[in-house]
Amino acid sequence: MLDDAILTIEDVAKYLRISERTIYDWAQKGELPAGKIGTVWRFKKTEIEKWVNDRLMARNMEPQFNAVNSETLISPDRILFLRYPAKRDALLALADNLAAAPQVKNRQELSAEILKREALMSTAIGRGIAIPHVRLGSITDLVVSVGISKTDITGFQPLDDEPVRLLFMIGAAYNQHAYYLQTLAFFSARLKNQNLRASLIAAETLQEAYALLTQP
């Protein structure tokens, strides 16, 4: 999808996983960047990406972090060193790792939905980070897989043009909307720390990466 692609209400609703009615109401109230072509609302892909990223990085979500514990989200076997320069290959490798978790009941659905979501809109949030994420009925509880790439990954088209090196893939049950959003915000805020990002990329063992991710 091109950077200046125009999205419909249906596209944005699928990406944000909320109802088309809510998207319509937000557009009407000016809470979501949108424009009208005749009587139909349309949205620029780049503006929606920025709107989402701004909210993931927002400080006003930090009080919710007490509900998120990194040690319960991350395990050493859900961390993977990646050496794939292409986005699709990196996503599939990480999805395969995530699918090994007992919470994931349908490996093929997970991979397909991760790629479908990424095709709709990039999950790169800048600073070399991407957070691919899905909620599915075939996932019984929230689970995270972390990919640390030893090479730049092309194809994410981040707004700041910094190549993606860190991926945090989140899979959640369909009814875990609040916890899912809190987890997205938690990782976005933690990874604002440049030293943490650099240390993760430089990590030589998975245990070292796990210690960095779970430190207070």
143-178 pLDDT tens trace: 999 999 999 999 998 888 899 999 999 999 988 877
Q: What are the pLDDT digits (tens) for 85-117? A: 999 999 999 999 999 999 999 999 999 999 998
Q: Measured between alpha carbons, how far is 65 from 160 in angstroms, rounded to an integer?
A: 26
| Topology of domain 65-214, CATH | Mannitol-specific EII; Chain A (3.40.930)
Residues 6+ apart with CB under 8 A from 142: 73, 103, 170, 171, 172, 173, 176, 179, 180, 183
Residue carrying the six token digits 């899912």: 180
Query: pLDDT, tens digit, for every residue of 120-141?
Result: 888 898 899 999 999 899 999 9
Domain boundaries, the chain: 6-57, 65-214
* pLDDT tens digits, 9-68: 998 888 777 788 888 888 888 888 989 888 889 998 888 877 876 765 554 444 444 456
